[in-house]
C-alpha cells in the first residue's frame, strides 16, 4: 500500500503543480495554449481557466506517474529500512517550489530578452501570434521549459537522494 501511496502522491503533486502553473501562464498569454498547442478539447475554448486545468492535468499526470513509480521502487524495494510516503511530502513540496521559482525566473528572463529583441518568435508562430503578445508567449514558453527541466533534474536528484538515504539507515 505504501508504494501505491507514493505513486499517488507523486501524481497529485505533479498535477497540482501543473494546474496551478498553467492557471498563471494561461493568463499571461492564452495564445500559448490556443495557438502553441494542439486542441485538447472536442470544442474550441479560449477560457484560461479551462485550458489551464486541461493542460495542467494532461501535461503532468504521466510525469508524476513515472516519478512515483521510480520513487516507490527506491523507497520500498529490498531489505533496507523502507521510506514511507509521509517522508516524501516535504521533498516533493520542495521540488515543486524550486520548479516554480525556476519557472518564474525563466519567464521573466524570456520576456525581458524578447522585449529587448534579443530573442524572437520564429515562423510559423511569429505570424500566428499577435505582435503585442510575442514577448508574453516567449515568457510562457520559457517558464514551461524551465518547469520541465527543473522537475526532471530535481526528480532524478530526489530519486538518488531517497536511495542513498535508505543505504545509510540502520
Per-residue pLDDT tens, the chain, 170 aa: give them: 999 999 999 999 999 999 999 999 999 999 999 999 999 888 889 999 999 999 999 999 999 999 999 999 999 999 899 999 999 999 999 999 999 999 999 999 999 999 999 999 999 999 999 999 999 999 999 999 999 999 999 999 999 999 998 888 76
**Res 12: pLDDT:** 98
C-beta of residue 146 within 8 angstroms of C-beta of residue 106: yes
Q: How many domains does the chain have?
A: 1
- DSSP labels, 43-105: S----HHHHHHHHHHHTTHHHHHHHHHHHHHHHHSSSSPPPPGGGSHHHHHHHHHHHHHHHHH
**Res 99: pLDDT:** 98
Residue span of the structural domain in which 76 resides: 2-168
Question: Is 124 exposed, middle or buried (CB count within 10 Å of its CB: 0-12, 13-18, 19+)?
Answer: exposed
C-alpha cell at 95: 521540488
**What span, in angstroms and rounded, lies between the C-alpha atoms of 66 and 114?**
34
Amino acid at each position: 500500500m505504501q508504494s501505491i501511496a507514493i505513486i499517488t502522491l507523486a501524481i497529485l503533486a505533479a498535477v497540482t503543480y501543473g494546474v496551478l502553473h498553467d492557471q498563471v501562464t494561461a493568463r499571461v498569454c492564452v495564445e500559448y495554449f490556443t495557438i502553441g498547442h494542439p486542441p485538447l478539447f472536442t470544442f474550441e475554448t479560449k477560457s484560461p481557466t479551462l485550458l489551464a486545468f486541461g493542460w495542467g492535468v494532461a501535461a503532468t499526470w504521466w510525469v508524476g506517474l513515472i516519478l512515483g513509480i521510480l520513487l516507490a521502487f527506491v523507497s520500498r524495494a529490498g531489505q533496507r529500512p523502507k521510506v514511507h510516503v509521509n517522508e516524501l511530502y516535504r521533498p516533493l513540496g520542495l521540488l515543486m517550489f524550486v520548479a516554480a521559482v525556476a519557472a518564474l525566473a525563466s519567464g521573466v528572463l524570456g520576456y525581458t530578452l524578447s522585449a529587448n529583441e534579443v530573442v524572437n518568435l520564429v515562423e510559423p508562430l511569429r505570424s500566428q501570434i499577435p505582435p503585442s503578445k510575442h514577448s508574453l508567449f516567449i515568457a510562457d514558453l520559457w517558464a514551461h521549459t524551465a518547469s520541465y527541466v527543473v522537475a526532471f533534474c530535481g526528480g532524478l536528484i530526489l530519486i538518488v537522494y531517497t536511495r542513498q538515504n535508505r543505504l545509510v539507515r540502520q
